[in-house]
Amino acid sequence: MNGWTFGGGLEWAFAGNWSTKIEGLYYDLGTISTVAPAAPPPINPIFDYVAGKNFDARGVIIRAGLNWRFGDAFYAAY
């Protein structure tokens, strides 16, 4: 499926090689339509027959993480 996405995130180095992050992502892949063959009317009116259905393929993904950087510890020089 084709669609679009938008997101962003933050990462914070707090102790030598350690950092933490949070990311957010919104995606929209359009609408998915299903089609079913024709069927006779239901015998029991409690169970309705649906000939087709539309589903919106969009949502939000949120991720958080804790990272370890290999190698020498990084210290910012001010």
52 or 28: which carries more pLDDT confidence? Answer: 28
Q: Look at residue 12 in the predicted model and tell me its pLDDT.
A: 94
Residues 49, 53, 59, 61, Cα dihedral to 10°: 60
- Total domains in the chain come to 1
Would 78 be classed as within a structural domain? Answer: no
Query: Rounded distance, CA 50 to CA 36, Å?
Result: 8
Q: What is the DSSP letter of 3?
A: -
- The residues near 70 (Cβ < 8 Å, ≥ 6 apart) are 17
Q: Please report whether residue 76 resides in a domain.
A: no
Q: What is the DSSP letter of 46?
A: T
pLDDT computed for residue 10 by the predictor: 97
* pLDDT confidence tier of residue 63, bands split at 50, 70 and 90: very high
Residue 24 lies in a domain: yes
Domain extent at residue 43: 4-68
pLDDT at 49 exceeding the cut of 60? no
Does the global pTM surpass 0.85? no
Looking at the domain assignment, is residue 59 inside a domain?
yes
